[in-house]
């Protein structure tokens, strides 16, 4: 049986993955700019970038295991794992972008 989600599922998943990759690269660029003194970041940004990863990965792994045990299809399992990572990366991108570059 044809359903829009079944047909568009892989395409929307690819768009979600692309958005996460773009946001992640932006966060890396802004954090590196902060370390170099070009971007306004908080004093604890370096520690934050290290401590937030295990939590986000744990949440992603937990969501993927839950989806797998529920018998979800592969794209739904990946989407479940991507959701907490996208949320964190999106929050970081918005927060860092709002701070802006360091102007003399």
Mean pLDDT of all residues belonging to the chain? 91
For residue range 65-77, list pLDDT tens digits in order. Answer: 999 999 998 888 9
Strand partners, 101: 39
Token pair in block for residue 3: 């359903």
For residue range 22-60, list pLDDT tens digits in order. Answer: 999 999 999 999 999 999 999 999 899 999 999 999 999
Q: How far apart are CA 38 and CA 6, in angstroms?
A: 45
Spans of all domains in the chain:
49-104
pLDDT at 104: 75
């Amino acid at each position: 049986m044809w359903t829009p989600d079944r047909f568009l599922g892989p395409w929307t998943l690819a768009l979600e993955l692309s958005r996460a990759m773009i946001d992640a690269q932006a966060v890396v660029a802004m954090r590196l700019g902060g370390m170099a003194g070009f971007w306004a970041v908080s004093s604890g940004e370096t520690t934050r970038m290290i401590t937030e990863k295990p939590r986000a990965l744990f949440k992603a792994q937990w969501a993927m295991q839950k989806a797998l045990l529920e018998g979800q299809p592969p794209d739904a399992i990946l989407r479940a794992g991507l959701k907490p990572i996208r949320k964190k990366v999106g929050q970081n991108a918005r927060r860092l972008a709002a701070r802006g570059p360091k102007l003399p």
